[in-house]
Structure 1
Amino acid sequence: MHCFRLSLLKKPLLVLLSFSIFALGFPFSALAATDDGKNSAAVLCYHHIVPDEEAAVTKSEATISVSEFEEQMRYLYDHGYYTASLTDIENFLYFNKQLPERTVLITFDDGYESNYTYAYPILRKYGLHAVIFLIGGAIETPSSGTASIPKLSLDEIKEMSESGFIEFGSHTFNAHYLLDKKSAFVEMSLGEITKDFEDMKGFFDKAGAPKVLSIAYPYGQYDDKIVTSAVVEGYKLGFTVTSGFIYQDSSPMTLNRIIVPPGIGLDKFKTLINDTSEALPEYYNGSIVLCIDSVTAYLGKQPVPLDAAPTYADGKLVAPLNFFKDVLKWDILWDNNTNKVARRITTREDVWFLLPTYLSRGQVMVPVRELAEKMGHQVIWHQNDKTVEIK
């Protein structure tokens, strides 16, 4: 892969996570996906996170330690994983928009307070994005007794939602329990299911969170009436706990997730997400990196999706104009009549210039070296790495 390096101007937030409580008896080998070359994403499923000393004595397969969770998040960060949002997944499935080569969706089920206490600070530390699927009734009317694991408060939900790192989905309002080993949600009548959706909408209105458009089915169980009701209610994504990756031809309302069990270590975690990559080079720190034929750019170690991959035109490396204009916030303008890009004049010291633009894969592309130099940056080629550094 040929890459081009630039000095860091802005560091965005990016990531995604998934939690599920039904981690019962899944053979580990069944969780690994084969690399068939198709654009895909791994949806990770977590539940409850506890301090290491508590994790050492728990027998729950839905509970992992703080240190193990941080180790996995650090791995994703060091290896340049893009943590997707629900909108990213929706665009991927409904509008065939490509995802970065290494993409995960990080999700949590049930809405435990530990998501706020332990997971949220770690996600913020590494700039990762995640989704928490809430049981509305359990938060609105918390259970009494010491046996109940504390759930998130409305204030905690509001804080995380406003942070930009966390978004929320439904794990039903009051249908997360078993009836003779079957999900109560599946056993409900159509009217009861509809009421649960309405109650969940009311809960999210009260929480002040954005409109919920995704659901994680309790215990991963669903049937036709549940899926149909979800679609009628405007839901776009439905998640199971069936092991596997998601692809562009996956059914949006019955998506796979990969349960992350406790005590697996990094080697098995890499197997879960089918990763054999090396960690990003150290020069990614404090840099912007563009790679030829890749729809992923990097700001530091934070991946950013591109609308088109950098390529060559007239012997020049070109990259999407909107990356420089909208992501890096360079003061440049594009004239669609002349197909030229110019510097926006803001002071007397600004230097006016015009550069040609190119059309590639429906995107306006600009020459990387020429634009960087015109904007006053020094350009240094690193032949051995096939990189260009812009200072």
Structure 2
Amino acid sequence: MYNKNRISNNFLKVFLYVLSLLTLLTILFLLPNDANGTEFDGKAKVKLDGKKINYDVSPVMKNKEILVPVKKTAKYFGVSVHYNKKSKTIKTTGNGIKTKLVIGDKTAYKNGKPVSLNEPPIVYKDQVLIPLPFIAEAYGYKFSWDNKNKTALLFSSKNKKLKYNTAYKKVPVLMYHILIKGRNDSISVDPARFKEHMEALKNAGYNTITVFDLLNYFEKGTNLPEKPILITFDDGYISNYTEAYPILKELAMKATIFIIASRIFEERTIIENEYEKFTWKQAREMSGTMTIQSHTWDSHRQVKSITGENRGMIASPLYLNGRPETQEEYEKRVLEDLVKSKNIIKEKMGYDSVSLAYPYGDYSADTIKLVEKAGYKMAFTTIEGLVTSEDNRFELKRITGNGAYSGKELVRTIESYQ
């Protein structure tokens, strides 16, 4: 009797063990694609032109294939991405290339042509991961795998020396105003000191770009030079023409001038109690070196707002004509000003004003909506820092080109933000 019970108990234990094992195997088999067969060691890395891409969710390995978050990868490649959660479809677009992938499907498409994948896209930790070799090669990047360091290496195929690439960049934007001999502060810079600044930037390897270059980088992933820098001037002073322009032209450098458009005339005009501005004729003469953009039509003043503060004229409703401005009146006034400035630049210069510099760096959420409604693509503040492709394009930072800095000090200041 005892032996029979013991045999029965042993049989029951074996049966339950086998049943548990079968249950576990069934669960593993039924796991969704975002977990089954995926290594979670977090050791896989990706480098683009020698620089590591920092992902919020680490790339994973699945059957010796590296899968990466599509959103961050697309940003580094300078392309757009759209994911339809209902159809599980991932589409990327940029540089004349279109791709389509589907979660769990081993067939992808490049410009409509099918491509076989070693592993399908998956969803992991609420992010869509796609095979890196496919997306990299689709957009012209050379892919190789460093097994020793568990690192995917991507290289810009257009320039193996890495002079240019569409990798994630931090772009310094310098802000100047007026050049006056013998004065060096946050607003005024002696011409000799300005030249020292420009020579120091050039010697440090910086390459000047235009606002159009920056916009194309944001929107199309167009290549920027190594160590790009955007030099800007606010207001449109005559010294931009007489002093800064010759220096920049000599050094083969470029800059952008944000003008108060109502203060620019075809012929020389002096306005009482204001520093002289250059003319439209002089602006056109500077083409190729200086790009003209907007600093509003006639809103470069601070006025008492309806909250009692002194604010820039485009930042909020104001007290005008002895009474508080309504929201509707404020929006109408600012929009008309911004459009008028944009239109006169197009008329006089022959190209669009895609960017605006906020007067006094003063703006609000309402200002941003109006600037965008007027057709501008970017706007610059006076907040110190660097510009990245992840920034709000209507809150772009700048660094003051302070005349108190030597050339070397300016470079150190810029690089302190890196």
Same-fold status (TM-score > 0.5): yes
Matched, 1:201 2:328: no
**Shift in Å at residue 104 of structure 1?**
0.6
Contact 1:135–1:174 (8 Å) recurs in 2: yes
Contact residue 292 and residue 345 of structure 2 kept, 8 A: no
Shift of 1:142: 5.0
Count of residue correspondences: 235
Output the CA distance in 2 between the equivalents of 1:190 and 1:125: 43
Q: Partner of 2:205 in structure 1?
A: 80
Q: SS of the residue aligned with 1:243?
A: coil
Match of 1:179 among 288, 298, 303: 303
- Distance apart, 1:61 and its partner CA: 3.1
Instruction: State the SS of the aligned residue for 2:375.
Output: coil
Q: Which amino acid aligns with 2:299?
A: A
- Any unmatched runs of 5+ in structure 2? 1-48, 51-166, 305-309, 318-329
- Residue 118 in 1 paired to residue 243 in 2? yes
Give percent identity, aligned residues only: 28
User: Which residue is equivalent to 2:106?
Assistant: none
* 2:166 matches 1:39: no
| Residue 85 of structure 1, CA deviation | 1.3
Q: Deviations over 1:61-117 (max 9, x none)?
A: 300001110001111222321101112211222234453331110000000010000
Deviation string 1:186-220 (CA, Å, 9 cap, x unpaired) is 13400001110232134224423411111001111
Which residue of 1 is the match for residue 181 of structure 2?
Answer: 51
User: Equivalent residue for 2:383?
Assistant: 242
Equivalent-residue separation in structure 2 for 1:72 and 1:48 (angstroms): 14
1:64 and 2:64 matched: no
Unmatched 5+ residue regions in structure 1?
3-36, 277-391
Q: Which amino acid aligns with 2:295?
A: H
In the TM superposition, 1:278-289 aligns within 5 A as none
Q: Give yes or no for contact 2:176–2:232 (8 Å, CA) kept in 1.
A: yes
For residue 286 of structure 2, give the secondary structure of its aligned residue in structure 1. Answer: helix
Contact 2:316 2:367 in 1 (8 A): no
Partners in 1 of 2:236 and 2:358 — Cα distance? 14
* 1:46 Cα deviation from its structure 2 partner: 0.2
CA distance in structure 2 between the partners assigned to 1:201 and 1:39 by the alignment: 28
Contact 1:176 1:184 in 2 (8 A): yes
Displacement after TM superposition at 1:166 (Å)? 1.1
Aligned counterparts of 1:112 and 1:240: Cα–Cα separation in 2: 19
Distance 1:257 1:273, change over 3 A: same
Is 1:157 equivalent to 2:287 in the alignment? Answer: no
Residue identity opposite 2:396 in structure 1: L
Could you report, residue by residue, the CA deviation over 1:111-162 in whole angstroms, capped at 9, with x for unpaired residues?
00100000000000000011000001122495633x311001111011112x
1:231 to 372, 378, 382: 372
Aligned AA (1:51):
K
Counterparts of 1:224 and 1:65, CA distance in 2? 36
Moved >6 Å (runs of 4+):
none
Cα distance, 1:273 vs structure 2: 1.3
Following the alignment from structure 1 to structure 2, what is the Cα–Cα distance between the partners of residues 68 and 116? 16
Q: Distance in 2 between matches of 1:144 and 1:233?
A: 28
- Provide the aligned C-alpha RMSD in A: 2.5
1:131 is the counterpart of 2:262 = no
Distance 1:201 1:39, change over 3 A: closer
Letter in 2 for 1:252: R
Contact 2:201 2:407 in 1 (8 A): no
Give the CA deviation at 1:38: 5.2
Partner residue, 2:357? 216
Q: Is the 8 A contact 1:93 1:250 kept in 2?
A: no
Residue 300 of structure 2 aligns with an amino acid whose one-letter code is: H
Give deviations 1:151-189, integer Å, cap 9, x for gaps.
01111011112xx11111100001000114311111340
Q: Do the aligned partners of 1:111 and 1:135 also contact (CA within 8 Å) in 2?
A: yes
Does residue 260 (structure 1) correspond to residue 401 (structure 2)? The answer is yes
Which protein has the larger Cα radius of gyration, Structure 1 or Structure 2?
2
SS at match of 1:187: coil
Check conservation: 1:64, 1:261, Cα contact below 8 A.
Answer: yes
Partner of 1:311: none
Counterpart CA distance in 2 for 1:214 and 1:50 is: 26
